[in-house]
Structure 1
């Protein structure tokens, strides 16, 4: 009888996942089409991309409504603040390590003077020195940019870590949950990587390989924090901070030295290799995780 109940529970879990994934990709197809037709993520003043990022979250909410389950299952509680702080700072750490390696080995150069001139002009302070301009930019974006970045990251994370991870983890454990959710997360991005401008200009096979390695390895980190804290917000902060520091700070500040696109951003080789190291570290700490029910 116990075995039967366990099998029934697992079957129900995978049915809910099937509904969620079907809804996610059907809704996402609308925004894939709009972005691909225009050729850029900036089309529709960026609102097509925002809409796409909210498809997993909306799909998760619809799935719970269909199944008559509580929205609280998504892990809305804040949890311990130390995990939220670590979630925000961790992307800064691994991104800094990756770009420091890029600058040291000459695969890219610090800093992009043209970009800093634009920043200086936008501040309107006159000549205050490039170092101070960069510091002001990092500080302002690090605070207020995170809020804006979190508004889009929340849409994805309600779906990926709020719903999908919490459905997979009780039956499959940490490693399989991280792998499966990471593959799904990565595949969901591929249409805009392959058919729009969500890449850095390298060959598509190269950009896709680097990106998938990055996303899957990042999934081990996101899953660890989601289970350890019991909070969806760790994933939101990880995602928001990741996008912010890579896309708005480190990549724009890096000067192209010829083949820089093969090394920087989410589509170059360095960041995925660094993230693999972090993934291994958190995988080695999986014994610290307990059942999701104890945390949520």
Structure 2
């Protein structure tokens, strides 16, 4: 069996297991809404399902458990850990601030004082050292396994695109749980789903680059934590500004929200392609 066929087989088994877990989450939507205990148990199983799927696939296919990228590799890579922490924070600050600034409402940004920004950054830094480890359940599967199997099959660009869509689809239960529970409309749920596709596809390129650059999933774990938490921190600072109750921004500014993530995607896809070309030339 060729290497591509082996990768395709392992990738297929991994994705089958991951999406069986996703289906379980959807089927359990009603009992999860009725019981906090059930919600917590199912949510934790679902959160760690990418890692579980990778471990099961490695066992079933007799691939073994080497090269799981479970090493910190601090030496020579510490700057990439800093980048993993700082870039999402800068990116989401730009995502929320750009539409406000461009539309001429800079007076709304009163919450972004030096002290407020520094305080929130330090809190996130402290939390990232401990809480981010929970995201190992995702990154061990997505970046540590799925991306490695996809790249020989679909290339770097294809892996970023297809991997981002797969990652977004896996989040589907989170996007439609409100609708299944009787909250919101189907169009709102689908809008959330497509928005997540775009964001995860773009941000996934950065996480993929981090993993390949450091040969470790831990920088991606930290960046993933900051992806989740930076948005809340920036929104909180924005909420402390001088925003009128009836405030609204022009619809066209919504496009600007995706611009920073799109730039990140382009930059890191280019870096991934450049690194791949160098490795081929070296061989």
1:211 aligns with 2:199: no
* Structure 2 residue runs without a partner (length 5+): none
Which of these residues, 4, 15, 23, is aligned with residue 10 of structure 1?
4
TM-score by length of structure 1 reads 0.75
Give how far 1:177 is off: 1.1
1:1-296 to structure 2, matched below 5 A, reads 8-35=2-29, 37-39=31-33, 46=40, 48-79=42-73, 80-104=77-101, 105=103, 106=105, 109-110=108-109, 135-140=118-123, 142-196=124-178, 203-247=188-232, 249-255=233-239, 258-259=247-248, 270-290=256-276
> Any idea what the Cα deviations from partners look like across 1:43-78, whole Å, max 9, x if unmatched?
757554333211111111111111222323221222
Give how far 1:228 is off: 2.1
Structure-2 change in CA distance of 1:11 and 1:45 (3 Å): closer
Contact 2:81 2:219 in 1 (8 A): yes
Contact 1:174 1:224 in 2 (8 A): no
Give how far 1:226 is off: 1.7
Structure-2 change in CA distance of 1:151 and 1:82 (3 Å): same
User: Following the alignment from structure 1 to structure 2, what is the Cα–Cα distance between the partners of residues 132 and 286?
Assistant: 37
Q: What SS class does the counterpart of residue 71 from structure 1 fall into?
A: coil
Structure-2 change in CA distance of 1:43 and 1:271 (3 Å): farther
Q: What SS class does the counterpart of residue 63 from structure 2 fall into?
A: coil
User: Following the alignment from structure 1 to structure 2, what is the Cα–Cα distance between the partners of residues 221 and 41?
Assistant: 37
User: Following the alignment from structure 2 to structure 1, what is the Cα–Cα distance between the partners of residues 223 and 184?
Assistant: 22
Give how far 1:285 is off: 2.1
User: Following the alignment from structure 1 to structure 2, what is the Cα–Cα distance between the partners of residues 138 and 233?
Assistant: 19
User: Following the alignment from structure 2 to structure 1, what is the Cα–Cα distance between the partners of residues 108 and 191?
Assistant: 22
* Structure 1 residue runs without a partner (length 5+): 113-129
Structure-2 change in CA distance of 1:37 and 1:110 (3 Å): farther
Aligned residues between the structures: 264
Structure-2 change in CA distance of 1:259 and 1:160 (3 Å): farther
Aligned-CA RMSD value: 3.6
TM-score by length of structure 2 reads 0.78
Give how far 1:241 is off: 1.3
> Any idea what the Cα deviations from partners look like across 1:178-224, whole Å, max 9, x if unmatched?
11111100111122202337999983343233221111111221112
Q: What SS class does the counterpart of residue 83 from structure 2 fall into?
A: helix
Structure-2 change in CA distance of 1:195 and 1:270 (3 Å): farther
Contact 1:41 1:49 in 2 (8 A): no
User: Following the alignment from structure 2 to structure 1, what is the Cα–Cα distance between the partners of residues 33 and 227?
Assistant: 24
Contact 2:99 2:257 in 1 (8 A): no
